[in-house]
Amino acid sequence: MLPEPDVQLCHALASDLRAAGYASAALRDAWGAQADDAVARGLRGPAERALAGRDDALAVLGRLWGLGLTVSRAEADAALPTLGVDGAAALGLVALDADAGRVRPAVLVRPQAFADEEGEVEWWIASDLDEAALGGPLPEDHVLGVGGASQTLARLQLTRRGGTALDLGTGCGIQALRLRRLVDRVVATDISERALRFTRLNALLNDVDGIDTRLGSLFEPVGDETFDRVASNPPFVITPRVEGVPAYEYRDGGMEGDALVATVIREVGAHLAPGGIAQSLGNWEYHDGESGLDRVSGWVGDGLDAWVIEREVLDPLAYAELWVRDGGTVPGTPAYARLVEAWLEDFARRGVTGVGFGYVLVRRPLAGSPTLTRYERVAGGGEAGFGPHLADCLAAHDRAALLDDDDLADSVLRVAPDVTEARHHRPGEGDPSVIELRQGGGFARTIEVDPALAALVGACDGDLPVGTLVDAIAQLMEVDAAHLRADVLPRVRELLVTGFLSFED
């Protein structure tokens, strides 16, 4: 059954969901925090138990579309006074078991709270029934709901306005909805007609216009159009191309190894307007003698800026187990062992020694603007505020890159409010042997600094220029001021790009 994104019926559904108070916080209250966390892990028993005996609209809708359980027709009709069960069936969201008077969920419709600089929103996102609701492995055409990776990319998106955006591989449409808050028009593409129907339905349900859905692979549906923003959570999972290994549309682009992510990164530059920025999640392979980050740098087109952040690297076995389990095959079964073996054979045959996971930002620089090339490993952070942080870091990079050292010395800087300092002393010794600066937000970076840089950062309170502060520190430490400037200023640039320091005005 395909979702049928009908305008009137979607509005009726939105009205019923609103009237029922069907929202993230209300559901979490209804079934409790622990049960809510369990639902996110795919365990719905505790939530079901918490709702037992309740027949109010929130509980009925929570059972039906929050957990994917059947409810009685009478309960469902009462919970959907405007849409009715027949309307929900016409939208493709339920199936009717007429003899038994039961209503079966055909999809999940979950509330999704989201906050950005534009404010807070609560969306309802329809997607396919998950493993818990299906009671087994997912079908290959499964359309994913809002998962951990979706939320990571949504939070990572730069909070920068633009005219047009592309969401490549839109799935249920979450990135498109997110982008539409910042741009006037979003093109959302997918190879799955089912996914595009979910995207249209979710846009109607949440009263979001300006999302144009297009069917097709990679950049084919957009021809030579260019965009101010591109976001893609592509099907990046590396999957062996052998008989008997399922190829899920939502996570597997049908190419060998990391070729799909490579293609997205290689081709995205041609679809960026000047100053345009693409952000993508990705997996990349490590081969004997070739680091994954070097591999990614080979994919970025000439003349483009790149900032690539690798969050973690998994060894082949850990990678295989992660994705075999994700597909719904349970450890301890023969199928699990067989699939893990297929992954290990594929990796061994192609000389893959590990797989990196991270974020890729590609920018088409404006004429005359500074260029950016950063490939780094950063393991920390991730809870919130990635997008604004990254936007600030990018702006600081661009500004600092236009300053020579004298200009930088004339700049007034301020230490970010989330930065703390840790000093480690050998027992009994007065001077620290290690000084660290730690970032509380952003990517939660920790860097080791020497006493001069620690003193400078501590003194950056938005008052005196950096050069004046460095000269005073040189005097106190009885070292040559010019030498200290030359030593410290490159590191000040790095502290600006990583968000430890910011320009005062």
**What does the binding site for ligand SAM look like in residue numbers (CB under 6 A)?**
144, 150, 153, 168-171, 174-175, 189-192, 195, 217-218, 233-235, 249-251, 253
- Comparing CB distances to ligand SAM, the nearer of 215 and 384 is 215
Contact 167, 188 (CB under 8 A): yes
- Considering beta carbons, is residue 230 or 474 the nearer one to ligand SAM? 230
Pairing verdict, β 446-449 and 352-363: unpaired
List beta partners, residue 112.
123
Query: Which contiguous run of DSSP H or E holds residue 58?
Result: helix 57-61
How far apart are CB 153 and ligand SAM at their closest, in Å?
6
Contact 67, 43 (CB under 8 A): no
Q: Which is nearer to ligand SAM, 250 or 347 (CB)?
A: 250
Cβ 252 to ligand SAM shortest distance, Å: 7
C-alpha distances out from residue 444 to 288, 331, 387, 499, Å: 31, 34, 14, 10
Cβ 140 to ligand SAM, closest distance in Å?
Answer: 10
SS (H, E, C) 360-424: EEEECCCCCCCCCEEEEECCCCCCCCHHHHHHHHHHHHHHHHCCCHHHHHCCEEEECCCEEEEEE
Distance separating alpha carbons of residues 159 and 171, to the nearest angstrom: 22
Quick one: 155 or 363, whose CB is closer to ligand SAM?
Answer: 155
CB of 284 to ligand SAM, least distance (A): 16
Q: How far is the CB of 93 from ligand SAM (least distance, A)?
A: 19
Q: Which is nearer to ligand SAM, 9 or 195 (CB)?
A: 195
Show Cβ contacts of residue 284 under 8 Å, excluding neighbours closer than 6 positions: 258, 261, 262, 292, 293, 295, 296, 355, 356, 358
Is the distance from CB of 76 to CB of 55 less than 8 angstroms?
no
Nearer Cβ to ligand SAM (189/206): 189
| Cβ–Cβ under 8 Å, residues 309 and 359 | yes
CB of 339 to ligand SAM, least distance (A): 19
On whether the CB atoms of residues 335 and 316 are closer than 8 A, the answer is no
- As measured in angstroms, the least distance from the Cβ of 99 to ligand SAM is 35
- In the bound complex, what is the minimum distance in angstroms from residue 236's beta carbon to ligand SAM? 7
Least distance to ligand SAM, CB of residue 263, Å: 8
- Compare residues 233 and 239 and give the one whose CB is closer to ligand SAM: 233
- Three-state DSSP class for residue 47: helix
> From its phi and psi, is residue 246 left (phi > 0), alpha (psi between -120 and 50) or beta?
beta
Residue closer to ligand SAM by CB (options 218, 293) is 218
Phi-psi region of 207 (alpha: psi -120 to 50; beta: other; left: phi over 0): left
Cβ atoms of 175 and 154 closer than 8 Å = yes
Instruction: Return the number of the residue (175 or 498) whose C-beta is nearest ligand SAM.
Output: 175
Backbone angles phi, psi at 183, to 5 degrees: -130, 165
